[in-house]
Amino acid sequence: MKISVFETKEAASKYASDIFYEQIKKQPNSVLGLATGGTMSTFYEKLSGSINENPIDVKKLNTFNLDEYYEITSENPQSYHAYMKTLFFDKVGIDSAQTHFPYQKEHQEDPSLYDQQIDALGGIDIQLLGIGRNGHIGFNEPNTPFNSITRVVDLSETTIQDNARFFEDINEVPKQAVSMGISTIMKAKRIILLAFGEAKKDIIIELSKMTTPDENIPASILLTHPNVEIIVDKTIGEYLN
């Protein structure tokens, strides 16, 4: 598991976005696994900037997002549909037919079909991940079985508290989501995980010291993946050996 340290979040995000840009340039029909949240906003700013400044073909891409809140419409400004549309898809001209989410209230289907859709397109070529303070990836909370697939999940109090900043009131934060499973994530050919700032320092330090996976820290399964890179800023990096 490779860990790359950069002076700033901006520099780290640019490095990560360049990896995705080169993947799309090399393979225009790539299947991208995408993530949302505060950590990713600069990443999408950098990637959309690169695509618009040095145009590449995005019309053959397929994207699969990690998760979506349960019982929230895609038009809700706090939905991950809205996040992706605003921060990335509309900026580079990716059509909605190319994008996939594990849940859409307006068109509900069995969440496990998401894994089949991914497999039908040959699997995810490169997966973007963030990490929660408790080690969650996607919305796979601590003690999620490593063999889990896409499904409805209950959000932990830690995750609800962390996401409350995106809502006017903590009581508005959905208590459930639909998330790719850990086994779904692990099928990706390459994984890029971003973590920045003081809030993510402790979990990255803990993860860097682990030698075997533990379901209590979902991200620890990444120790067994053959092509993972964790990208951090100096705030975290100065504490790593």
Question: Which residues are part of the catalytic machinery?
Answer: 67, 134, 136, 141
The b-or-e profile of 173-211 (16+ CB within 10 A means b, else e) is bbeebbbbbbbbbbbbbbbbbbbbeeebbebbeebeeee
Distances (CA, A) of 25 to 14, 29, 59: 16, 9, 12
Whole-number CA gyration radius for the chain: 17
Taking the C-alpha atoms of residue 96 and residue 74, their distance in angstroms, rounded to an integer, is 12
9-26 and 41-53 helices, crossing angle to 10° = 50
For residue 159, CA distances in Å to 9, 15, 163, 175, 176 come to: 22, 27, 6, 9, 11
**Look-up of token digits 């400044």:** 53
